[in-house]
Amino acid sequence: MKNIILICFVFFLCSCGYSSIYKNQKSQDFQINIIEMAGDKGFNNLLKNELKLYSNTNSKKQYDINLNSTYQKNIISKNSSGVATDYKIILNTKINIKLNNKIHDLEFNESINIKNNSNSFEQNKYERNIKQNFASLIREKLVIKIFNLNDN
């Protein structure tokens, strides 16, 4: 019975015209060169490592980018004794892409509300995880923007 359901699912999925928006990302041939990084060093290094996944050093298409990021952790609420209970993490990333002697300015803004953890080690670990997730998300958005720039 499970096999019949699986076969039907695959059949309907294939025949409905579904295709992933990331399907051709690996087949794209380009290299991203980070010329300048400013702002939050930790996040910039995470994003740089994420972008290396999509860079092909033997590619003819090369994109030079300048990266500027700001990371903020703002207190949203405090308890009755004045200890912060909720934070808002805001990450703003400005990227300048040089393509065909034109500079394209992109800006990505991400934010999330988190609860304060009494264990500072766990809190720092959670914030590092959030930064890593933001880097992956911005990398995906940037690669899609680069594909759109190529289409124009």
Q: For residue range 50-103, list pLDDT tens digits in order.
A: 888 877 777 788 888 999 999 999 999 999 999 999 999 999 999 999 877 888
- Going from the C-alpha of 65 to that of each of 46, 92, 127, 134, the distances in angstroms are 15, 16, 26, 18
Whether 3 contacts 33, CB under 8 Å: no
pTM for the whole structure: 0.77
Phi, psi of 120 (to 5 degrees): -65, -30
Residue whose C-alpha is closest to residue 149's, from 68, 111, 95, 109 = 95
- The pLDDT of residue 48 is 92
140 token code pair: 């995906």
Q: How confident is the model at residue 13 (pLDDT cuts 50, 70, 90)?
A: low
